[in-house]
Structure 1
Amino acid sequence: MMKAIMGFLRLPGIRLKLKGCIYRTLATLSVSFLVAMGAASASSTGDSSGELFFPSDDPVAELEQTRQSARANDRLVLVIMGANWCHDSRALASRIYQQPLRPIIESHYETLFVDVGYLDQGSEVIKALGPPVYYATPTVLIVDPVSGNLVNADNRHQWGSADTISMEDSVAYFRLMASAGPGALENKAAEGQELRKLLNEIDAFEQTQALRLYAAYRVIGPMLRAYKEGNPPDGFDDYWNEVRVFRLQVPMDVDELRREARNRTAAGEQNIQLNYPQYAAFSWETSQ
């Protein structure tokens, strides 16, 4: 499980907000087993480091405050969406205060922790930043405070497995993202009409899947809360794994569609027709 890590130190440039997260499961282990292991680990060590996700009355206002602070201090905005019950969220929240990552975060980022509750919070924050939905917890969003563009738009999904990412890889990632610097993405490269049309189509496709995922969160979120309160509902593992497969597959498909659109338009193709994937209905959808 997660190794004992240094306690949290309140540092300049770090803003603590909200409370929550989406839990990473392994295909070979049940959700119940992993949640229980996480609880046992925290209980046995007494380690609460990484529990930095707290409720907020106005998360969008706090996001704007963080962005203004980042602009004033010539930093990027680092938004970490997660929850204290999620071991991957806690692992990443703790890691950014450890050497050698800590000085990179302090120097280049204004950090905001956003709680997703039991999958029932955080939607207004992610939508304010551009993406229609958060697929995993933690979700890492690095924002240029000048333009509002996502610096890590094309490589943000791996952090759902944050506990398995090494310190070396974490340092390399945040150092690379910081190299852009505020204002670097203020003017996007010109996009041709054909590419813009395709990207708009892909955005619409992703929005449709986001609505399905939010509906799924409304189904499994209360089940997750009941489990954490000691009342595991029947079918929780099965429902959770259905949603897990969906939320892992959709961002991969969307990223691949965008790569295909860029590659084919760069090659000079016109009137491109993309093949959009179809996804099976959730079991509770077919039973209605």
Structure 2
Amino acid sequence: MLLAFSVLSTESQAADTQVSVYKASADPMQDVQLALEQAKKNDKLALIILGAQWCHDSMGLADKFDAPEMQVILADNFETAFVDVGYLEDRRDITQRFGQANYFATPTVLIVDPHSERLLNADSLQKWGVADSIPVSQYIEYFSGFGHSDVDPLPPLSELNSRQIKQFELQQAERLMQAYRLLRTDLRADVERTPDQTPNEDFYKRWAEVRSFRLQLQADIQALYSKAREQHDAGLSLPTYPKFSWE
């Protein structure tokens, strides 16, 4: 997800010259379902990518996917669905289907076993929030490392820890979505802003607050799962966060 909004409009205009892979859909979940069905039929994994055409890193990922080596890996191993989040639309029905409370970045890359619908890359989702800065060599190494039988399931959590974390995730995901709703209109205005128009500094400040929260939240959720697997039946201490400036 782009960090420097002062250059967003320029980068967005450049992105408009590229073929759009993040297209509005009447039924994004049906697109995901189709990818799962095709993956089952063709003995592949499903690759679900939530991103946006305005997003620097979403477009960077699409560019890296165009590398010849990546094209071979993707064609041989994955059925891919690009899901457009638009201007921070609510796509939690998709992420929660695969055990993720929300999307914390664009792009969010989900590698899914189509038979069990088990998310295979839950412990490395953060990596792709800066997709444009990752070299193609790391893309090749990462995506070629997934298969149908070579990814061991993570150890199960205790019922107590699982319930604690899931409740925490859902509560914070709702708070994040409320922030996305607040940003949505100004985000679109900034994407469409022409060079002669004055940037909305208040929007940039709010964006920075939300960015800090969503990155910390994703890291904290991953840390909670790791700790829960170590502590087994012990209860967890859940993190708290300061209020946003508008709350």
Q: Does 1:74 align with 2:37?
A: no
TM-score in terms of structure 2 length: 0.91
SS of the residue aligned with 1:216? helix
Aligned length: 243
* 2:136 corresponds to: 167
Q: Is the 8 A contact 1:126 1:133 kept in 2?
A: yes
Residue-by-residue CA offset, 1:152-180 (whole Å, 9 max, x unaligned) = 11111210100011111111110112364
Q: Is the 8 A contact 2:179 2:210 kept in 1?
A: yes
Alignment match of 1:264 (pick from 213, 231, 235)? 231
Q: Determine which structure has more spread, i.e. the larger CA radius of gyration.
A: 1
Q: Does 1:38 align with 2:5?
A: no
Q: Is the 8 A contact 2:44 2:79 kept in 1?
A: yes
* 2:175 corresponds to: 212
CA 1:244–1:260 in structure 2 vs 1: closer, same or farther (change >3 Å)? same
In structure 1, distance between residues paired with 2:23 and 2:165: 34
Q: Which amino acid aligns with 2:18?
A: S
SS of the residue aligned with 1:235? helix
Gaps of 5+ in 1: 1-22
SS of the residue aligned with 1:148? coil
Gaps of 5+ in 2: none
In structure 1, distance between residues paired with 2:147 and 2:58: 21
* 1:3 corresponds to: none
Task: Compute the displacement of 1:260 (Å).
Answer: 0.9
Alignment match of 1:228 (pick from 191, 213, 235)? 191
* 1:48 corresponds to: 18
In structure 2, distance between residues paired with 1:190 and 1:260: 12
SS of the residue aligned with 2:121? coil
Greater helix share, 1 or 2?
2
Task: Compute the displacement of 1:94 (Å).
Answer: 2.1
Give the number of the structure with larger relative contact order, counting CA–CA contacts within 8 Å between residues 6 or more apart: 2
Alignment match of 2:156 (pick from 176, 183, 191)? 191
CA RMSD of aligned residues (A): 2.1
Residue-by-residue CA offset, 1:160-207 (whole Å, 9 max, x unaligned) = 1000111111111101123647xx77xx67736xx2321221111111
* 1:4 corresponds to: none
CA 1:246–1:52 in structure 2 vs 1: closer, same or farther (change >3 Å)? same
* 1:24 corresponds to: 2
TM-score in terms of structure 1 length: 0.78
In structure 1, distance between residues paired with 2:184 and 2:222: 26
